[in-house]
């Protein structure tokens, strides 16, 4: 009995050390990841149209999280207008026969409409105030002190131009980058393979970086922006993404394609590992500047939706262009 208790105590201590080094609750993170993978794979197996709808849902959730995050420092983004414009952009890009033109026009229109709505600064109900209060209550005081905003002065006040600027940034960050995921589903004959590369390879890259950094990480990549990121983690991200790309290619393309494009999985792994890590650093810099720890709380063990999709969004245009140029 005593021996079993000792083993359990050692296991809990090891788990606590892993959680501390990775910065997340690993059992929760793994459980959430399994559920997300099952949902995405189920949508892909059932219908590509359902997968497009799933992307729209995730972007809507991400926009709400950004709405709350920016509101903690007094910045307003018109979330309802962003929801409408983002959903229209993604759906129209997929179903229009002129995908790239439709995406470009939709983004331009979205920027104009969102800018007008941001300058009006309309607000409905008190749900946002409650969400902001909850976000601030769950944020460490140290994170608030590192923010570039003066949180001790009470409510923040900004010019209308500041609200418009951050709203335009949101349009370029969410619907524009997400449209690259949608466009990749529309060319050639392998939309499922493209979807897997765009969604799962960045996630696999994150996993590789997490484990490589936790067990081997010694050389800090950017200690000021993200202290847990390491050079070893970056290498692990590239290798895991590369292995995933080779697996996707092996299950998708014939030997004749391999003979001329064997280098594509290598390049894809390097690109996704590097750009995905850059996306994580950009999100970390944004969080540090605002003074928050996580973008949200919707995904147990992962923080917010934005914490999961930042590397996917940043990698999407590069992967899309790579697939298009190589004709895959």
Which of 81-85, 193-197, 245-249, 287-291 is modeled with the greatest confidence? 81-85
Mean predicted lDDT score pLDDT of the chain: 79
List CB contacts of 62: < 8 A, sequence separation 6 or more: 174, 295, 304, 305, 306, 309
**Strands in 21-125 per DSSP E:** none
Q: 251-276: per-residue pLDDT in tens?
A: 888 877 777 888 989 999 999 988 98
pLDDT at site 83: 95
pLDDT at 192 over 80: yes
pLDDT at site 36: 83
Strand partners, 299: 303
User: Which value, in Å, is the radius of gyration of the alpha carbons in the chain?
Assistant: 21
pLDDT at site 11: 47
pLDDT at 137 over 80: no
Confidence class of residue 289 from pLDDT cuts 50, 70 and 90? confident
| Mean of pLDDT values over 224-228 | 70
pLDDT at site 72: 81
Q: 84-131: per-residue pLDDT in tens?
A: 999 999 999 999 999 999 999 999 999 999 999 988 765 544 555 555
- The count of C-alpha atoms lying within 13 angstroms of the C-alpha of 36, restricted to the half-sphere facing its C-beta, is 20
pLDDT at 203 over 60: yes
Confidence class of residue 138 from pLDDT cuts 50, 70 and 90? low
Confidence class of residue 7 from pLDDT cuts 50, 70 and 90? very low
Q: Is 156 helix (H, G, I), strand (E, B) or coil?
A: coil
Confidence class of residue 213 from pLDDT cuts 50, 70 and 90? confident
List CB contacts of 191: < 8 A, sequence separation 6 or more: 48, 184, 185
**Whole-number Cα distances in Å, 291 to 20, 63, 73, 77, 285:** 20, 18, 9, 18, 10
Q: What is the pTM of this model?
A: 0.81
pLDDT at site 15: 47
pLDDT at 311 over 80: yes
- Domain map of the chain by residue range? 32-326
Please name the helix (run of DSSP H) or strand (run of DSSP E) that holds residue 228, with its range, or none: strand 226-230
């Amino acid at each position: 009995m005593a021996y079993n208790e000792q083993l359990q105590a050692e296991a809990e201590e090891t788990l606590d050390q892993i959680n501390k080094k990775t910065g997340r609750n690993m059992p929760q993170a793994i459980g959430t990841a399994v559920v997300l993978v099952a949902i995405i794979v189920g949508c892909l197996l059932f219908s590509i149209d359902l997968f497009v709808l799933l992307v729209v849902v995730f972007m809507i959730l991400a926009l709400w999280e950004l709405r709350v995050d920016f509101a903690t420092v007094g910045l307003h983004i018109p979330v309802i207008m962003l929801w409408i414009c983002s959903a229209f952009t993604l759906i129209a890009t997929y179903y229009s026969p002129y995908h790239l033109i439709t995406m470009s026009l939709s983004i331009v229109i979205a920027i104009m409409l969102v800018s007008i709505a941001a300058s009006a600064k309309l607000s409905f109900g008190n749900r946002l105030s409650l969400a902001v209060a909850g976000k601030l209550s769950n944020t460490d005081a140290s994170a608030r002190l590192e923010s570039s905003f003066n949180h001790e002065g009470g409510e923040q006040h900004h010019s209308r131009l500041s609200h418009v600027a951050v709203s335009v940034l949101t349009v370029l960050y969410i619907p524009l980058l997400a449209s690259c995921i949608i466009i990749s589903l529309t060319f050639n004959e392998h939309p499922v393979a493209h979807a897997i590369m765009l969604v799962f390879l960045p996630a696999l890259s994150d996993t590789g970086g997490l484990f490589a950094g936790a067990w081997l990480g010694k050389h800090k990549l950017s200690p000021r922006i993200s202290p847990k990121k390491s050079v070893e983690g970056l290498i692990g991200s590239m290798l895991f993404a590369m292995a995933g790309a080779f697996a996707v290619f092996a299950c998708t393309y014939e030997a004749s394609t391999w003979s001329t494009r064997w280098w594509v999985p290598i390049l894809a792994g390097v690109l996704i590992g590097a750009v995905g890590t850059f996306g994580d650093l950009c999100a970390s810099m944004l969080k540090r500047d605002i003074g928050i720890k996580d973008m949200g709380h919707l995904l147990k063990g992962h923080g917010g939706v934005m914490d999961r999709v930042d590397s996917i969004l940043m990698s999407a245009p590069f992967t899309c262009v790579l697939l298009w140029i190589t004709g895959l």
